[in-house]
Amino acid sequence: MRCGRSFLLVLSASVLLATRPTGATGAAERTCPSSATLEALVACLRDQMPSRGSGTFVAPSFAEMSAWRSVASAMLRGDCGFALPYSLSLFVQIRRFRDADNGRSYCVLMETADWNGDGVVDRGFGAFIVDASAERELSHQVSHPIADAGTETQAVTVFKKTRSRTFLLAGAHRDARPGEGGFHGVSASSDATRNAATMFHTTHVEVMAHYGEKPWWAIQWHGMAEDTCAPVDVHLSHGVGTPPAGEDKILELRKNLLAREPTWRIGVAGSRACSLNATSNVQGRLLNSAPMEWGFGSAAAPPPRRSRRFVHIEQHPGFRDPERWIAPVLATWP
């Protein structure tokens, strides 16, 4: 048994090292060293991730996802100054980041490896940022960077200025590997809303585990084309098609938005104005359904009111200014 275990360890190390070309021309670590604010850091991360049709996205292995979860768990407990597991250390970096605007310190986990030196990170892992002294248990998530233009800096600004707990960024354009979509398991799909085998979804799972039954909300920031859902400017849902009722958070968010932006046309799930209700979103499906029992072939079941923790925001291009969202978010989650 010992010989077999040693052989597997050596084999695993060999596979990992094989992904790191030796003597690659221009090999570099993309650490965004000149970024002084979270907005600048996230813009840098966006600009060096795999783009549409690039063919660059590597679904993480089970071991890599497990290691990533362990790192995310430590970050959520307030730790940041520790060594990464070996399975991740070839590709990612963890560090403290002090924002020049507010002087606050954040813990950042981000992909950095660019072993072929093409200016683009190699895997599409993305990034996770934690504010250990947060005031709000909100997770601001951007699953479609580049594609949903501007949502990266919008979400991180709202995260920063509302003193929320976490910010989560997918690691590649949703169509970096076009035509290879999948809902479950190890898939080549780079669309983080449709593939559970991504570090984006892995982090979401760990955030869920961290909170357990404690109240928190995952807010996913999305963008729709100007000619999509023309009757509305903004559309809110929980990842289900049923209309919200009672003291629902998306109704409260709509009320607080309209109090400051009375000309905005804001739709919610259940209306005929827009059908972008994110019913196939794997993060929403997991958060809305029973623990780890989520079916991918049908629409998500309406969640109990107490579990409506998933907030999905669709916006036309002219409605992604973070400064217009900060006060409504503060009022909705005081």
Per-residue pLDDT of 116-157, as tens digits, reads 999 999 999 999 999 999 999 999 999 999 999 999 999 999
Q: List, in order, residues 6 or more apart from 166 with CB less than 8 Å away.
A: 76, 128, 129, 130, 131, 134, 138, 139, 140, 159, 207
Q: How far apart are CA 85 and CA 87, in angstroms?
A: 5
Q: Which amino acid is at 271?
A: S
Residue 217 pairs in a beta bridge with 138
* pLDDT cut 90: percent of the chain above it: 71
What pLDDT sits at residue 36?
Answer: 98
| Among the listed residues 234, 225, 226, the one whose alpha carbon sits nearest the alpha carbon of residue 253 | 234
Phi, psi of 79 (to 5 degrees): -85, 150
Burial of residue 245 (CB within 10 Å: 0-12, 13-18, 19+) is exposed
> Model confidence over 248-305: pLDDT tens digits?
999 999 999 999 999 999 999 988 889 999 988 999 989 887 444 443 334 445 555 5
What pLDDT sits at residue 244?
Answer: 87
Check: CB of residue 36 under 8 Å from CB of residue 45.
no
What pLDDT sits at residue 177?
Answer: 81
pLDDT above 90 (res 167): yes
pLDDT above 80 (res 7): no
What pLDDT sits at residue 6?
Answer: 37
12 or 144, higher pLDDT: 144
Give the torsion sign (CA, 240, 241, 246, 250). Answer: positive
| Among the listed residues 281, 306, 124, 309, the one whose alpha carbon sits nearest the alpha carbon of residue 210 | 309
What pLDDT sits at residue 255?
Answer: 97
| Among the listed residues 192, 161, 138, 154, the one whose alpha carbon sits nearest the alpha carbon of residue 316 | 154
pTM: 0.88
What pLDDT sits at residue 303?
Answer: 54
Indicate the helix (H) or strand (E) that contains 205: helix 199-211
> Model confidence over 169-211: pLDDT tens digits?
999 999 888 655 554 544 568 999 988 889 999 999 999 999 9
Q: Which amino acid is at 201?
A: H
CA dist list (Å): 22 to 117, 175, 260, 292, 296: 12, 29, 56, 40, 41
